[in-house]
Amino acid sequence: QQQVKQSPQSLIVQKGGISIINCAYENTAFDYFPWYQQFPGKGPALLIAIRPDVSEKKEGRFTISFNKSAKQFSLHIMDSQPGDSATYFCAASKGSGNTGKLIFGQGTTLQVKP
């Protein structure tokens, strides 16, 4: 049962361009939506996260856009750099008496060309 669907599977962007990764979820009880960045041989590193009381959150070059009615959220990487080349995962979890376990998307491999 795939509760979080992520697209695209892979993405190639030129240096300085905008990278956009999309996720859709099914369970309306989800109330926390983080994005993780993972380099080969490393664990996922928390990049940015949002809760559904806001529609957008920006941290540096990274922005999450959240559409509660559509049950979708996306990651925008502005001014993409070769060092951003990694695999990105969206995730979702339920709070309010639940364990907070994360349900991950399938991942997007981003390549930023110099």
Contacting positions for another protein (CB under 8 A)? 6, 31-32, 34, 36, 41-46, 49, 89, 91, 93-107
Q: Which is nearer to another protein, 83 or 101 (CB)?
A: 101
Distance CA 23, CA 44 (A): 17
Q: Which is nearer to another protein, 11 or 17 (CB)?
A: 11
Strand intervals (E) in the chain: 4-7, 10-14, 19-25, 33-38, 45-50, 56-59, 62-67, 72-77, 86-92, 103-104, 108-113
Q: Beta partners for 11?
A: 110
CB of 65 to another protein, least distance (A): 19
CB of 4 to another protein, least distance (A): 8
Q: Which is nearer to another protein, 19 or 93 (CB)?
A: 93
CB of 90 to another protein, least distance (A): 9
Read off the tokens for 73: 């959220």
